[in-house]
């Protein structure tokens, strides 16, 4: 029973840690499926978290914080779109630029406005997304095994956690079952064909970039308003890049993306858990090894040793209309 | 499309366009300064004064510039081959390992002028090896080099933390850093050079590796424009298919280019480690690898441009630190914004102003020489 509880706790923190990855990963999925590579997930998430922390503190409303996060993140997404769609600039260079702009601006503005070393003041619980008790969680708590599972693992998360996991089937449905999704995928594989059909490549790609911005904003809002209570300097700490790695790991598919994010979240949770606990046979695994594991796995995958990750065909290539 | 486009003269292509891009980047940065309630012009004046107003300021400016020359060259060499090496940060970090191993083992035995070449070799080798795997994966398995080099940055960071809190840390010490190097592991300062001009450098850690950086810039120029290998690298960057058709081995060129690129990044470690701190500290690279991207884009991947852009960013670093005394709302993070804006305007949005400038030149050229051959579309 004791080890069962430990496992449940581990899985519980896995879910919490994988949510920002999942939002960002799905964000990248919309963008990259439409042929726009996005290294700037990290920056958009960070700027979103800052906007969420600031707006939620100033207004005291959790919803306003979330909307601010989405707004700022979408704006940065539009900058990326302006550079890479309208001006056909290098998408990777543009993404890198956005990451730096977000990293610098959040600290400078945070310091100037709140003078707390780049963080925003901690949020009261009304300005955060509190945990949600699912119906019956309390009643089922004492039922062995399943009750525990339900009340500990499935119930008791913030609303954004459920939203993140609902976004997975939703994204699948959008991509696979709607006209917009079909066109989105087509524009990432063969934009010329989409253009020939009389559909605007530019507008489609802009919409993909906006979807990406919305989801990155949600990731930022989760970091500042659910997982934490306010914005902290550099609070994304490379999560945007892990999300990118998860996206490749998932071969640009929504359901796979969920599993990849859960895996990387699990590794993170395990690394925290295992600190100072030696494993049988192996001895103590250095925490740095666990931290580097998602990146190493991605490199191995990219090398084609665990199946082959084939990106959308037109990814990274600006579309030039024929004249 | 009816507007005439002129092929830009070299001074406009390499001088005017970067300056326009830089001006716009600073304009937007000025808005951020306004937003935090300070005067942008005053900030700029303070920054320039902090960077060039004293011998010490100049010493620090050139010290930082040394880092950026190396990382800028690193990115530029890869650019010439059509590769985007975003892993300068990790390669420089590993370069520090090479320097430290040489200096820790030989620093007490050999004089500096014997340790230095070995340390250069160690730094370059470590950086090159860290670039080798992404290069090989790109060349043979088609894995995207941008993603793999990003991943290698993180792996490098984890590895170095592991080493600096473990094997490399002296048992008596608490801080995550190596033991101090012996005299043979310390590079001579270059203060005397500035003193010739009557400047007092005081504590500015400008050292011999600045000269090495300038020499590297020259050697990169020789390599890219005066050797067969450089020609092959540029051919590959211009058109991989043409290179293939010309019998140039893709694998060979990608691997060699990336190893040169990684070696240049690795050599950056000499400056802070051997030249200033005389030990390796945690996170000593502190973003210089990424500044290299902005420097290479600013300098249009040409060594001369890179040295100038590196001095500009050295000025921003040093001046940015000075501003913080008078304007507490502006810290060094301002540089990160400017760096991002420069990458945005000089890199991703490089096509934004070009057509307008080309049109302008076209009109000037068109009004007095109607018969002059006019190129249409984008000239690159």
Chain A positions in Cβ-Cβ contact with residue B133 (cut-off 8 Å): 299
Residue A208 has pLDDT above 90, yes or no: yes
**N-terminal to C-terminal alpha carbon distance within chain B:** 17
The pLDDT value recorded for residue B3 is 45
The pLDDT value recorded for residue A323 is 60
The pLDDT value recorded for residue B188 is 87
Tens digits of residue pLDDT in B58-102: 999 999 999 999 999 999 999 999 999 999 999 999 999 999 999
Residues composing chain A: 323
ipTM: 0.88
Chain A positions in Cβ-Cβ contact with residue B89 (cut-off 8 Å): none
Q: Answer whether A183's CB lies under 8 Å from A198's CB.
A: no
Q: Band of the pLDDT at A10, cuts 50, 70, 90? A: confident
Q: Where are the beta strands (DSSP E) in chain A?
A: 131-132, 157-158
Tens digits of residue pLDDT in A238-294: 889 889 888 988 889 999 999 999 998 988 888 777 776 776 666 677 888 888 888
User: In b/e form, how buried is each residue of B280-317, taking b as 16+ CB within 10 angstroms?
Assistant: beeebbebbbbbbbbbbbbbbbbbebbbbbbbbbbbbb
B177 - beta bridge partners? Answer: B281
Domain tally, chain A: 1
Structure letter (DSSP) for residue A279: B
Domain contains A53: yes
Q: What angle do CA B122, B128, B133 make, to 5 degrees?
A: 135
3-state secondary structure of A283: strand
Tens digits of residue pLDDT in B117-148: 999 999 999 999 999 999 999 888 877 888 89
Q: Which of A188, A190, A194 is nearest to A28 (CA)?
A: A188
A216 contacts: CB under 8 Å, gap ≥ 6? A23, A24, A27, A41, A44, A45, A48, A73, A77
Q: Name the residue range of residue A127's domain.
A: 2-302
Domain contains A168: yes
Domain contains A308: no
Domain contains A84: yes
Provide the CB-side half-sphere exposure for B179 (13 A, CA): 15
* Cα separation, A138 vs A152, whole angstroms: 10
Q: Which two tokens stand for residue A301?
A: 């995958």
Q: Which of B:136-195 have CB within 8 Å of A?
A: 137, 141-144, 146-148, 150-152, 154-155, 158-159, 161-162, 166
Q: Supply φ then ψ for residue B348, to 5 degrees.
A: -70, -35
Q: Answer whether A56's CB lies under 8 Å from A65's CB.
A: yes
Average pLDDT over residues A142-165: 81
Contact A238/B at CB under 8 A: yes
DSSP string, A183-202: HHHHHHH-HHHHHHTT--HH
DSSP string, B24-41: HHHHHHHHHHHHTT--HH
3-state secondary structure of A228: coil
With CB atoms and an 8 Å threshold, state whether B341 touches A288: no
Could you tell me how many CB contacts below 8 A there are between chain A and chain B? Answer: 153
Q: At what angle do helices A91-114 and A62-81 cross, to 10 degrees?
A: 140
Tens digits of residue pLDDT in B61-73: 999 999 999 999 9
Checking phi first, is residue A16 left (phi over 0); if not, alpha (psi -120 to 50) or beta? alpha
Chain B positions in Cβ-Cβ contact with residue A96 (cut-off 8 Å): 86, 290, 293, 340, 343, 347
Domain contains A156: yes
Domain contains A317: no
Q: Supply φ then ψ for residue B177, to 5 degrees.
A: -150, 165
The pLDDT value recorded for residue A23 is 95
Average pLDDT, chain B: 87
Q: Give the closest of A88, A298, A304 to B351, CB-based.
A: A88
Q: What CATH number does residue A69 fall under? A: 1.10.3470
Q: Supply φ then ψ for residue A203, to 5 degrees.
A: -65, -40
Domain contains A265: yes
| CATH number, domain B65-323, options 3.40.1620, 2.60.120, 1.10.600, 1.10.3470 | 1.10.3470
Query: Could you tell me how far CA A38 lies from the centroid of its own chain?
Result: 12
Domain contains A311: no
Average pLDDT over residues A7-29: 92
Tens digits of residue pLDDT in A74-104: 999 999 999 999 988 888 889 989 999 999 9
Q: Band of the pLDDT at B371, cuts 50, 70, 90? A: very low
Beta-carbon count within 10 A of A153 CB: 16
Q: Give the closest of A100, A102, A295 to B343, CB-based.
A: A100
3-state secondary structure of B281: strand
């Amino acid at each position: 029973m004791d080890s069962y509880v430990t496992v449940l706790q581990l899985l519980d923190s896995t879910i919490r840690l994988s949510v920002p990855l999942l939002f960002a990963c799905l964000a990248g999925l919309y963008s990259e499926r439409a042929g726009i590579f996005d290294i700037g997930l990290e920056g958009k998430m960070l700027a979103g978290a800052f906007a969420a922390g600031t707006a939620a503190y100033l207004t005291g409303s959790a919803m306003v914080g979330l909307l601010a996060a989405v707004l700022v993140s979408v704006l940065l997404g539009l900058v990326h779109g302006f550079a890479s769609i309208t001006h056909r600039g290098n998408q990777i260079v543009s993404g890198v630029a956005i990451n730096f702009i977000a990293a610098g601006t959040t600290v400078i503005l945070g310091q100037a406005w709140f003078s707390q070393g780049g963080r925003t003041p901690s949020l009261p619980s009304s300005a955060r997304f509190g945990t949600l008790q699912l119906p019956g969680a309390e009643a089922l708590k004492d039922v062995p095994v399943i009750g525990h599972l339900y009340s500990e693992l499935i119930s008791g998360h913030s609303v954004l956690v459920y939203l993140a996991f609902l976004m997975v089937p939703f994204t699948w449905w959008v991509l696979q079952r709607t006209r917009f999704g079909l066109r989105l995928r087509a524009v990432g594989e063969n934009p010329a064909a989409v253009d020939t059909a009389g559909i605007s490549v530019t507008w489609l790609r802009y919409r993909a970039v906006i979807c990406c911005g919305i989801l990155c904003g949600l990731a930022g809002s989760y970091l500042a308003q659910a997982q934490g209570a306010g914005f902290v300097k550099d609070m994304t700490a490379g999560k945007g890049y892990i999300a990118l790695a998860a996206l490749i790991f998932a071969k640009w598919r929504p359901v796979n993306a969920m599993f990849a994010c859960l895996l990387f979240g699990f590794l993170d949770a395990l690394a925290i858990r295992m600190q100072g606990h030696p494993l049988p046979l192996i001895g103590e695994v250095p925490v740095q090894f666990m931290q580097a594991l998602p990146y190493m796995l991605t490199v191995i995958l990219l090398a084609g040793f665990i199946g082959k990750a084939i990106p959308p065909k037109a990814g990274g290539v600006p579309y030039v209309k024929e004249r | 499309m009816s507007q005439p486009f002129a092929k830009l003269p070299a001074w406009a292509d390499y001088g005017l366009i970067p300056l326009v891009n830089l001006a716009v980047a600073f304009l937007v940065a000025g808005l951020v300064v306004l937003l935090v309630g300070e005067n942008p012009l005053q900030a700029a004046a303070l920054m320039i004064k902090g960077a060039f107003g004293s011998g010490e300021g100049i010493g620090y400016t050139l010290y930082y510039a040394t880092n950026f020359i190396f990382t800028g060259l690193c990115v530029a060499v890869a650019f010439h081959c059509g590769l985007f090496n975003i892993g300068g940060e990790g390669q420089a970090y590993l370069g520090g390992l090479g320097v430290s191993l040489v200096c820790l083992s030989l620093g007490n035995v050999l004089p500096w002028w014997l340790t230095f070449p070995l340390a250069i070799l160690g730094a370059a080798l470590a950086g090159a090896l860290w670039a080798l795997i992404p290069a090989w994966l790109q060349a043979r398995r088609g894995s995207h080099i941008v993603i793999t080099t990003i991943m290698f940055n993180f792996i490098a960071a984890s590895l170095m933390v592991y080493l600096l809190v473990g094997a490399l840390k002296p048992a008596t010490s608490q801080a995550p850093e190596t033991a101090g190097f012996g005299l043979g592991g310390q590079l001579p300062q270059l203060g005397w050079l500035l003193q010739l001009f009557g400047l007092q450098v005081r504590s500015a850690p400008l050292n011999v590796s600045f000269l090495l950086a300038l020499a590297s810039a020259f050697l990169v120029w020789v390599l890219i424009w005066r050797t067969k290998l450089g020609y092959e690298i540029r051919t590959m960057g211009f058109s991989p298919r043409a290179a293939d058709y010309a019998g140039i081995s893709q694998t060979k060129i990608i691997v060699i280019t990336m190893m040169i690129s990684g070696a240049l990044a690795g050599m950056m470690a000499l400056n802070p480690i051997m030249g200033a701190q005389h030990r390796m500290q945690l996170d000593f690279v502190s973003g210089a690898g990424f500044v290299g991207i902005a420097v290479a884009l600013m300098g249009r991947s040409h060594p001369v441009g890179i040295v100038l852009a590196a001095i500009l960013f050295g000025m921003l670093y040093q001046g940015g630190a000075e501003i913080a005394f008078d304007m507490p709302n502006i810290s060094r993070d301002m540089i990160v914004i400017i760096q991002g804006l420069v990458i945005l305007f000089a890199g991703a949005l490089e096509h934004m102003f070009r057509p307008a400038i080309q049109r302008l030149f076209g009109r000037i050229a068109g009004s007095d020489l109607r018969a002059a051959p006019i190129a249409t579309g984008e000239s690159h």
